[in-house]
Structure 1
Amino acid sequence: MAYLTLFMTAMAAATLLPAYSEILLGGMVTQGYSLWWIWFWATAGNTLGSVVNGVIGRQVDRFKHKRWFPVTENQLERARTRFNRYGQWSLLFGWLPIAGDPLTLVGGIMRVPWFNFVVLVGIGKGIRYALVIWFVLEASGVPGSP
C-alpha cells in the first residue's frame, strides 16, 4: 500500500497540482522499504504525471481562443519559441521545481512524439529520484547507505 501511495503522490506532484513526493519518499527510505521499488514507483508515477501534462498540452489549440483560457496568444508563442530553442532535449529537465511542470505541458503543445517524451522525461525524473534517495541515505545515516 505504501508503494501505491508513493506512486499516486509522485504522479500528483508532476501535474500542476500542489503535491510533494519527497517527504513520503524520504520516510520510506528511512523505514527500510526497498530502495529499488521506492525509486521505481516514484519515477513511474512522476513520469505518468508529466504525461498527463503532455496530454493537456496537446489539447491547448482547441481552447486557446476561449475567453476563459488562462494564457494569452503571446505567452503561448513565447513558450513555443523558447521550447524550439532548446528542443525536445529540454524535457530531461522536466523534474525541475516550478519550471518542470510547464515544460512538460509545452512538450505536449509542441507534440513531441510520445516515445521521446516518455523516455526523456523518465530519464530526468529517474536521475532526480536516485539523487533524492542518495541524499536521504547520506543525511539519515541509515545502515547500508553508500
Structure 2
Amino acid sequence: MEYFAQFGYFGLFVAAFLAATILPLGSELVLGALLLSSLSPVALVAVATVGNVLGSLTNYALGYWASKGVIQKCLKMSDEEFLRAEERFTKYGIASLLFAWVPVIGDPLTVMAGILRIHLRWFVLLVTVGKLLRYIAIAFMALQVG
C-alpha cells in the first residue's frame, strides 16, 4: 500500500505539472481515481496544486525568457492572435490569472504573464488560489460521486 501511495502522489504531481504546460494533458482523471482510493484528499489536492502551479511557472518562464517568435510558434499563434491575447490580458489585468486553470486560455495566460513581466509574487498567489479552488471543487465532486 505504501508503494501505491508514493506512486500515486508522484504520478499525480507529474500529471498536474504537465497539464499546466502547453502540452494538451489533463490531471482531473488522475486526481479523481486517486481520491477513490484510500489516499488523503487533502494531500492529493495539495500535490495536484503544487504540480499544476509549477507547470504554470514553467509557462511564465517561457514567456519571460523566450523570444516572441518562439512563443508564437509554441502556442501556434499568428501576429494578430498574439496582439489580441496581449490586449485581453492588459484589459482584464492580473486578476485574470485566477483563471489560469481554464482549458485553452489558461496556458496562454500564464505565458503572457511572463511576457508582460507580471510580478512573480502576484503571479504565484493568483495562480495558486485559482488552481487550489479548482482542485478542491474537483475533489468535492469526486468524493460525492464516489
Q: What is the aligned partner in structure 2 of residue 48 from structure 1?
A: 54
Q: Residue 31 of structure 2: which of 16, 19, 25 is its match?
A: 25
TM-score w.r.t. the length of structure 2 is 0.87
- Structure 2, unmatched stretches of 5+, are 1-6
How do 1:95-114 residues align onto structure 2 when only pairs under 5 Å count? 95-114=101-120
1:124 is displaced (CA, Å) by: 0.1
- Structure 1, unmatched stretches of 5+, are 141-146
Deviations 1:33-73 (A, max 9, x none): 0011100000000001001111111134x3439xx674343
Give the conservation status (yes or no) of the 8 Å contact 1:15–1:49. yes
Deviations 1:59-106 (A, max 9, x none): 34x3439xx674343332221111110101100000111111111111
Instruction: Find the aligned partners of 2:107 and 2:78 in 1 and give their Cα distance.
Output: 18
Q: Which has the larger radius of gyration?
A: 1
Instruction: Find the aligned partners of 1:137 and 1:72 in 2 and give their Cα distance.
Output: 42
Deviations 1:90-140 (A, max 9, x none): 000001111111111111111111111011000000000000000001111
Instruction: Find the aligned partners of 2:103 and 2:83 in 1 and give their Cα distance.
Output: 22
Q: Residue 69 of structure 2: which of 40, 64, 67 is its match?
A: 64
Give the conservation status (yes or no) of the 8 Å contact 1:26–1:136. yes
1:27 is displaced (CA, Å) by: 0.9
Q: State the aligned residue count.
A: 139
Q: What is the aligned partner in structure 1 of residue 90 from structure 2?
A: 84
Residue 11 of structure 1 pairs with residue 12 of structure 2 = no
Q: Which has the higher helix share?
A: 2
Identity of aligned residues (%): 38
RMSD, matched Cα: 2.0
SS class of match (2:38): coil
Q: What is the aligned partner in structure 1 of residue 127 from structure 2?
A: 121
